[in-house]
Structure 1
Amino acid sequence: MIALSGALTAFVFNVIYAKGWIDLEVYREGGSAVLQRASVYDLAVGERWLKFTYSPFAAILFTPLALVGMETAVALWVLVSILALEVLIWILVGRAAVRSRGRRATHTLLVVIASLPLYPVMLTLWNGQIGIILLLAIVVDLTHGREKWRGIGTGIAAGVKLTPLIFIPYLLFARRFRAALMVGLGFLGTVVLGFLLLPADSRYYWGGAFFDTQRVVTEQDSDVFNQSLRGVLTLMPGSWPTVPLWLALCAVVGTGGLLVAAWTAKKVDELAGITACAIVGLLVSPVSWPHHWVWCIPLLVLWAQRAQRVDATLEKAGVGLLWFVFLLPGYITLATLLIYPAHAGMWLMLLMGSYVLSGLTTLLALAVCYGRSDRRRRRRGSGDD
């Protein structure tokens, strides 16, 4: 009912105002270019002249959207996205071993209601982004797929958006070599398909365009909504050696974070490890928009389950604080930039930087648990001697 209501509301709003869902419009235009045998990278969509920044395989995948009107595409996309959100939360709730199907459905409904207003989720729905669908695909692939095929779905997701490639080193660190190979093969398959069907666009994209962040961010990545390490660094006052410092931070956060994620998957839970890995990817990526942070959903649910399990008041308060972090700063920033742009200053950057801070804090907390567990293991080993 929530998904149907959301789809109907989106349809009516788009019919009346024809505003929003700009990324979905880019997807449709990309699919239309494929059908018309035009270059998807020559597009300039909407008032902001947005370009198609995804892979040729993604453009092929979006061709069905070009076969229906924009209003229908909006309704279907919102419907599928909310259904994907509900399935994801159903899986996460099931992790807590809720035996009653009715109770699990109730918990799922409550978490869905709590998740919908979060800024990354609402922005994903409003822009018509694919993030929630890819998130579900990765979770299902790495936790519920047949063992010998695990990784293929994540590789295909990486063929749409490159960021899931972070799961290859994660799986290698976790010594899941077959799954890492499957991710690589799934991704390679999308590249090959792109060359077969769109050779010119594939040569352009894989010839270097995929590495050009200026296609998605203007003004040298200095956008207040870029919630990655690089995005925060470019907003810092003064003359910073941004690129060298960013690369150094990526080396530390990337390597350390992936080790922590692999340990978390082994000692705690596979879903927790996957979520930690995704956070590492968001931090080290050149560009991480707020809607990329839909990984806050499993982060919040998994932490809430732990807080309930250990019955720790401080941890329950932490879950509530994190929920507000992913709820308020985005809306406050957007409202300030739209209504009072003259009041936007350093405080706004610090406010939106809370996403990056939350990600770093999560990895640090897991690292501390890792260290304590390792010390206890060594002490037990010494005692046995």
Structure 2
Amino acid sequence: MPSSVSAGPRIRVGKKDGACFPMACGVLIALCGALTAFAFNAVYAKGWIDLEVYREGGAAVLRGTSVYDLVVGGRSLQFTYSPFAAMLFTPLALVEMETASGIWVLISILALEAVIWILVGLTTVKRRGRRAAHALLVVIAALPLYPVALTLWNGQIGIILLLVIVADLTHGKEKWRGIGTGIAAGIKLTPLIFIPYLLLTRRYRAALMACLGFLGTVILGFLLLPADSRDYWGGAFFDTHRVVAGQGVDFFNQSLRGVLALVPGSWPIMPVWLALCAVVGTGGLLVAARTWKKAGELAGITVTGIVGLLVSPVSWPHHWVWCIPLLVLWAQRAQRVNTPLEKLGVGFLWSIFLLPGYVALATLLVYPSHAGMWLMSLTGSYVLSGLSTLLALAVHFGRSERRRGKRASGDPFAVVPG
């Protein structure tokens, strides 16, 4: 009898929390985005260039023609993902481009809302009503961010992969944890960075599951698309010219290599880039492992995602959707610490992922003659933010270790936490 009495108020509190209204608003946002995408594509047939490539890749699979011989659109774009990804994109080829764009934007915004729902639940509130309200506010703040807006505009898959990785490594069952990340890497190779992260954090089973998930996508590709698989794994996956479509230096490549390519003069970029990748990749993964130990899984995988963006040969602005968990984590810390400097830092980071991309894009579209070297300060802002994050965490953990060391040396009976 007491249990039934206590259960009643809990149900009534859940209703008073008003969780349904924020969730309904989230669904409405997703539906409005999908309708806008459908209408704009039907009228102007512009945008969603990456989605068009996905769709043509799926159509090539259905036709039985080579996926990697495709040349799509006026910019001569090529299919750069794995044969397994091409197979996943086949449903897009069964509908018109207008319908495909609407469906894709709907799925992407729902994926964004699901990611933010997970992030808010892990970092701030647990009660369903408050969690839904906080998540809605974060969605509204995240939608105008340049990486998010460009992901939706281009029809990119980044937000969906972000959801798969975050859900897998934070909420996946222990027995299967890692397999979703491996499948994500089978679609787009950059999530492979999470395998050494799992090894460094001594989650050997999860690392094994990630490897098995990845290998499963490769084997499936060879079984169903053997010719395309030979082309892709025979060298097409390493051909960066397929990604940049022969454009060479591009102001919008937000990786270490992209920034180096903007430095004037004739000098060997490749050796310097490889050296930087070795330093940033190794050091960054060590920082990620330390972050996991001190701040939890979400912080660890966020740092790992940033490391992957920095060392990747090409990281377009829409690849930087990892700014979302970074901003949520910092906002949570600023709320906990409650200092003006921390709150100002969150606002500054949000503005970095909001303004520079739009300014650079507008400059290149409206005043292309003014797009000079000063754009480096804009387009390199993501790289600087990523490097600053790694450096700040390394310094923070280093200071913490020194303080514990001093306490331990001053008191022979002091207990130093691991």
Q: Given residue 169 of structure 1, which amino acid in structure 2 is its aligned partner?
A: P
Partner of 1:210 in structure 2?
Answer: 237
Q: Given residue 225 of structure 1, which amino acid in structure 2 is its aligned partner?
A: F
Contact residue 254 and residue 316 of structure 2 kept, 8 A? yes
Give me the identity figure in percent: 79
How far did residue 49 of structure 1 move?
1.6
| C-alpha distance in structure 1 between counterparts of 2:230 and 2:338, whole Å | 55
Q: Does 1:102 align with 2:137?
A: no
Contact residue 151 and residue 158 of structure 2 kept, 8 A? yes
Partner of 1:91 in structure 2?
Answer: 118
How far did residue 379 of structure 1 move?
2.4
- 1:222-255 Cα shifts (integer Å, max 9, x gaps): 1100000000001001233211111111111100
How far did residue 377 of structure 1 move?
2.9
Map residues 191-210 of structure 1 onto 2, 5 A cutoff. Answer: 191-210=218-237
| C-alpha distance in structure 1 between counterparts of 2:225 and 2:296, whole Å | 40
Residue 44 of structure 1 aligns to a residue whose secondary structure is: coil
Partner of 1:10 in structure 2?
Answer: 37
Partner of 1:308 in structure 2?
Answer: 335
Q: Does 1:265 align with 2:304?
A: no
TM-score, with structure 2 as normaliser: 0.90
How far did residue 71 of structure 1 move?
1.1
- 1:173-223 Cα shifts (integer Å, max 9, x gaps): 111111111111100000000000000000010001111101111557411
| C-alpha distance in structure 1 between counterparts of 2:248 and 2:286, whole Å | 28
- 1:241-293 Cα shifts (integer Å, max 9, x gaps): 21111111111110000000011011112101100000000000000000000
| C-alpha distance in structure 2 between counterparts of 1:51 and 1:220, whole Å | 13
Q: Does 1:283 align with 2:305?
A: no
Q: Given residue 222 of structure 1, which amino acid in structure 2 is its aligned partner?
A: V
Contact residue 249 and residue 261 of structure 2 kept, 8 A? yes
Q: Given residue 249 of structure 1, which amino acid in structure 2 is its aligned partner?
A: L
Residue 244 of structure 2 aligns to a residue whose secondary structure is: coil
| C-alpha distance in structure 2 between counterparts of 1:60 and 1:228, whole Å | 29
How far did residue 159 of structure 1 move?
0.4
Partner of 2:362 in structure 1?
Answer: 335
| C-alpha distance in structure 2 between counterparts of 1:81 and 1:299, whole Å | 19
Contact residue 254 and residue 380 of structure 2 kept, 8 A? yes
| C-alpha distance in structure 1 between counterparts of 2:375 and 2:246, whole Å | 18
| C-alpha distance in structure 2 between counterparts of 1:135 and 1:377, whole Å | 36
| Cα distance change on mapping 1:340 and 1:268 into 2, 3 Å | same
| C-alpha distance in structure 2 between counterparts of 1:208 and 1:99, whole Å | 47
Q: Which moved more, 1:43-52 or 1:90-99?
A: 90-99
Contact residue 132 and residue 294 of structure 1 kept, 8 A? yes
Q: How many residues align?
A: 385
Contact residue 213 and residue 221 of structure 1 kept, 8 A? no
| C-alpha distance in structure 2 between counterparts of 1:220 and 1:169, whole Å | 32
Q: Given residue 354 of structure 1, which amino acid in structure 2 is its aligned partner?
A: S
How far did residue 344 of structure 1 move?
0.5
| C-alpha distance in structure 2 between counterparts of 1:146 and 1:376, whole Å | 37
| Cα distance change on mapping 1:69 and 1:339 into 2, 3 Å | same
Residue 222 of structure 1 aligns to a residue whose secondary structure is: coil
Partner of 1:148 in structure 2?
Answer: 175
Contact residue 53 and residue 216 of structure 1 kept, 8 A? yes
| C-alpha distance in structure 2 between counterparts of 1:221 and 1:290, whole Å | 17
Partner of 2:9 in structure 1?
Answer: none
Residue 19 of structure 1 aligns to a residue whose secondary structure is: coil
| C-alpha distance in structure 1 between counterparts of 2:328 and 2:289, whole Å | 19
| C-alpha distance in structure 1 between counterparts of 2:52 and 2:220, whole Å | 23
Partner of 1:60 in structure 2?
Answer: 87
Partner of 1:42 in structure 2?
Answer: 69
Contact residue 31 and residue 62 of structure 1 kept, 8 A? yes
Residue 47 of structure 1 aligns to a residue whose secondary structure is: coil
Partner of 2:25 in structure 1?
Answer: none
Map residues 292-307 of structure 1 onto 2, 5 A cutoff. Answer: 292-307=319-334
| C-alpha distance in structure 2 between counterparts of 1:315 and 1:346, whole Å | 31
Contact residue 115 and residue 163 of structure 2 kept, 8 A? yes
Unaligned runs of 5+ in 2: 1-27, 413-418
Partner of 2:212 in structure 1?
Answer: 185
| C-alpha distance in structure 2 between counterparts of 1:220 and 1:23, whole Å | 16
How far did residue 68 of structure 1 move?
1.1
Partner of 1:256 in structure 2?
Answer: 283
Q: Given residue 53 of structure 1, which amino acid in structure 2 is its aligned partner?
A: T
Residue 148 of structure 1 aligns to a residue whose secondary structure is: coil
| C-alpha distance in structure 2 between counterparts of 1:318 and 1:91, whole Å | 23
Q: Given residue 366 of structure 2, which amino acid in structure 1 is its aligned partner?
A: I
How far did residue 100 of structure 1 move?
3.0
- 1:52-72 Cα shifts (integer Å, max 9, x gaps): 111000000101111111111
Partner of 2:8 in structure 1?
Answer: none
| C-alpha distance in structure 2 between counterparts of 1:145 and 1:58, whole Å | 22
How far did residue 369 of structure 1 move?
1.3
TM-score, with structure 1 as normaliser: 0.98
Q: Given residue 38 of structure 1, which amino acid in structure 2 is its aligned partner?
A: T
Partner of 2:147 in structure 1?
Answer: 120
| C-alpha distance in structure 1 between counterparts of 2:366 and 2:246, whole Å | 22
Partner of 1:366 in structure 2?
Answer: 393
